[in-house]
């Protein structure tokens, strides 16, 4: 191998090593900020550690919303119509939050299997449902393309159909 080829090879290897190190640093720094979306069924099946931040999405289960006396703590269950997971949230809920509607709660799973949410997001109109929630409902066989809402009565609707 000539000195010129050896020099090119050394530069190429050094460049690849630098790119690899940069990619490793980027992935390492993003690791703490990654939040995985899970359906209630996946939360129960995978049981992520309490240190891992997750987003759980689904529907607020009918009859499960309980507010504390001071009104700052809310407990409810999120369901994908197969499994439901209890969620506790300290704070003010979005105005559109209600039973039977789509919701995404971001927080940490507790030792007892519940989720302590740091943030709760509610859907913004009658037809919107987060993409991940729709996919989870489709996977469970509870959602059909074109349905405005999953089957079942919902507050403000008649028989599950939007007015």
Placement of tokens 């289960």 in the chain: 61
The CA R_g of the chain, rounded to the nearest whole Å, is 23
Placement of tokens 């891992």 in the chain: 52
124 is in an annotated binding site: yes
132 in Cβ contact with 145 (< 8 Å): no
Residue 131 CA to residue 83 CA, distance in Å, equals 19
89 is in an annotated binding site: no
73 in Cβ contact with 89 (< 8 Å): yes
- Of 160, 143, 154, 137, the residue nearest 40 (C-alpha): 137
Return binding residues: 124, 128
Return binding residues for heme: 124, 128
């Amino acid at each position: 191998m000539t000195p010129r080829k050896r020099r090119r090879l050394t530069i190429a290897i050094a460049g690849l090593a630098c790119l690899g190190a940069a990619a490793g640093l980027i992935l390492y720094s993003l690791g703490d900020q990654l939040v995985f979306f899970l359906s209630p069924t996946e939360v129960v099946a995978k049981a992520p550690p309490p240190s891992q931040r997750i987003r759980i999405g689904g529907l607020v289960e009918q009859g499960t919303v309980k507010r504390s006396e001071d009104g700052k703590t809310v407990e409810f269950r999120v369901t994908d119509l197969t499994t439901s997971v209890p969620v506790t949230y300290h704070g003010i809920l979005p105005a559109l939050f209600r039973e039977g509607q789509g919701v995404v709660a971001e927080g940490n799973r507790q030792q007892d299997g519940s989720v302590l949410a740091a943030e709760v997001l509610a859907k913004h109109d009658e037809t919107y449902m987060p993409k991940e929630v729709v996919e989870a409902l489709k996977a469970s066989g509870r959602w059909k393309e074109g349905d405005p809402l999953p089957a079942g009565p919902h507050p403000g609707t008649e028989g599950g159909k939007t007015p």
